[in-house]
Amino acid sequence: MTTLELRTSIVAELDQMSVEMLESVQYYVRRLRRHARTDKTATKEEVPDIVLSLLGAGTHVADDDLNARKAYNEYLEEKYK
């Protein structure tokens, strides 16, 4: 095989590989889009029991206490008296 034939063969193989790669990427994107559509229509999953039990683990703070800052400040005041 001459150098020219070898180079031509390599270029042809690379062209074929790039076409196959493009097809693979297109297939992957189609699957992602299809999956995204089905996720929106999927029913909501129930919250596991372990998570529900942890939701009530802390002490209740006032409804107007954004991010429990007041409660945390009171806790720190009591702690460092």
30 and 22 in contact (C-beta within 8 Å)? no
Is the pLDDT score of 42 beyond 60?
no
Selected residue with higher pLDDT from 43 and 55: 55
Which band of pLDDT confidence, cut at 50, 70 and 90, is reported for residue 54? low
Selected residue with higher pLDDT from 57 and 25: 25
Domain count, the chain: 1
Residue that is written with structure tokens 């409804």 in the block: 63
From the list 13, 10, 12, 16, the residue with the least C-alpha distance to 2 is 10
Residue range(s) defining the domain that contains residue 18: 3-79
